[in-house]
């Protein structure tokens, strides 16, 4: 059995939108923009499972909780990408390139600025875990299979004590806003981005409704044509008999 260590007292240290499982597990699962059966994922062997919708404070919370538990060696990204924020892409970019000038290197999200993580904390995150990307996957069977696969590769606890990071937030349960010390321009961009996301969601719903109405109308027309053809065929069959009777 792989060697294990005790996580930081009171782990997970940072509150957020997640469920927890076995603290000795080597796997955490981040569902990004999807809300899956997180408890079922934890019951399947994950130490933690939850969503992450932002590319700043949301990522900081993930990193803080991961490095506070040396037993975590794999981070699985799955679920749907978050429009605009691109938190999945930004998380992978953070793991690959770190941060320069407060910004995640290579991040494509709207506000990928990190304020609560030191270079040591980011370096620890990069060294401690392997990021396993199965983005756009929401199938629980696939996710559980990946947990089993990674658990079988468990190299044991990271060779360092838990690292504690304080993450200051502005009150959103998921880390949905940047910290209060951030540039007001970023806050304005964040608010506008959230409004755009709401409009996109409304537009998607409207398109789906229109498509449904069109399909229903097309099916109605098809039924009408089919009925007309049947009546016509019946007339062709019956017409000679009627003519003979006359």
Mean pLDDT of 82-102: 96
Do the domain assignments include residue 94?
Answer: yes
- Could you count the other beta carbons within 10 Å of the beta carbon of residue 85? 28
- Tell which of 134, 155, 175 closes a domain: 175
DSSP code for 47: S
pLDDT at 243 over 80: no
Position 122 in a domain: yes
Residues shown for the chain: 246
Shared domain for 167 and 214, answered yes or no, is no
Q: What is the mean pLDDT of residues 156-180?
A: 70
What pLDDT was estimated at residue 192?
A: 60
pLDDT at 200: 64
The closest alpha carbon to 135, from 95, 76, 94, 176, belongs to 76
Q: Examine the pLDDT at 173 and tell me if it is beyond 50.
A: no
CA dihedral angle for residue 2, residue 142, residue 87, residue 73, rounded to 10 degrees:
10
Of all residues in the chain, what percent carry a pLDDT higher than 70? 74
pLDDT digits (tens, 9 = 90+) for 196-225: 666 666 666 667 677 667 676 767 677 677
Tell if the pTM clears 0.85, that is, is over it.
no
Instruction: Encode pLDDT of 179-191 as tens digits.
Output: 333 444 555 555 5
Rounded to an integer, the average pLDDT of 84-90 is 95
Higher-pLDDT residue of 199, 9:
9
- Cα–Cα distances (Å) from 202 to 73, 87, 196, 212, 230, in that order, read 39, 21, 10, 15, 42
Residue 7 domain-assigned (yes or no): no
35 shares a domain with 88: yes
Output DSSP code: residue 160: S
Residue 207 belongs to domain spanning? 183-246
Please name the residue ranges forming H helices in 104-139. 119-128
Residues 154 and 208 grouped into a single domain? no
End position of a domain, from candidates 117, 144, 175 = 175
Tell me the β-bridge partners of 50.
18, 30
- For the residues 111-126, what does the mean pLDDT come to? 96
Which residues sit opposite 77 in a β-bridge? Answer: 30, 133
Flag whether 5 is in a domain.
Answer: no
Domain count for the chain = 2
DSSP secondary structure string, 175-212? Answer: --S--TTS-HHHHHHHHHHHHHHHHHHHHHHHHHHHHH
Q: Where is pLDDT greater, at 131 or 200?
A: 131
Q: Is residue 200 part of a domain?
A: yes
pLDDT at 16: 86
Interatomic CA distance for residues 96 and 106, integer angstroms? 9
3-state secondary structure of 140: helix
């Amino acid at each position: 059995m792989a060697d294990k260590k005790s996580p930081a007292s009171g782990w997970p240290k940072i509150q957020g939108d997640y469920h927890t499982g076995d603290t000795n597990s080597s796997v955490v699962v981040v569902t990004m923009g999807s809300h899956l059966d997180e408890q079922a994922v934890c019951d399947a062997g994950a130490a933690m499972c939850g969503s992450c919708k932002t590319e700043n404070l949301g990522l900081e919370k993930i990193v803080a909780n991961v490095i506070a538990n040396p037993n975590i060696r794999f981070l699985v990204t799955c679920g749907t990408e978050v429009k605009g924020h691109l938190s999945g892409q930004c998380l992978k970019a953070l793991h690959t390139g770190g941060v320069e000038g407060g910004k995640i290197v290579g991040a494509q999200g709207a506000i990928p600025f990190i304020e609560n993580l030191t270079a040591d904390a980011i370096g620890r995150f990069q060294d401690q875990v392997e990021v396993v990307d199965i983005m756009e996957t929401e199938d629980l069977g696939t996710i559980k299979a990946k947990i089993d696969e990674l658990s079988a590769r468990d190299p044991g606890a990271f060779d360092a004590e838990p690292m504690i990071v304080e993450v200051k937030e502005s009150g959103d349960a998921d880390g949905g806003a940047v910290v209060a010390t951030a540039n007001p321009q970023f806050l304005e961009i964040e608010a506008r981005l959230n409004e755009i996301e709401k409009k996109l969601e409304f537009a998607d719903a409207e398109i789906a409704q229109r498509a449904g109405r069109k399909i229903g109308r097309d099916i109605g027309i098809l039924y009408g044509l089919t009925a007309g053809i049947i009546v016509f065929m019946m007339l062709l069959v019956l017409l000679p008999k009627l003519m003979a009777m006359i």
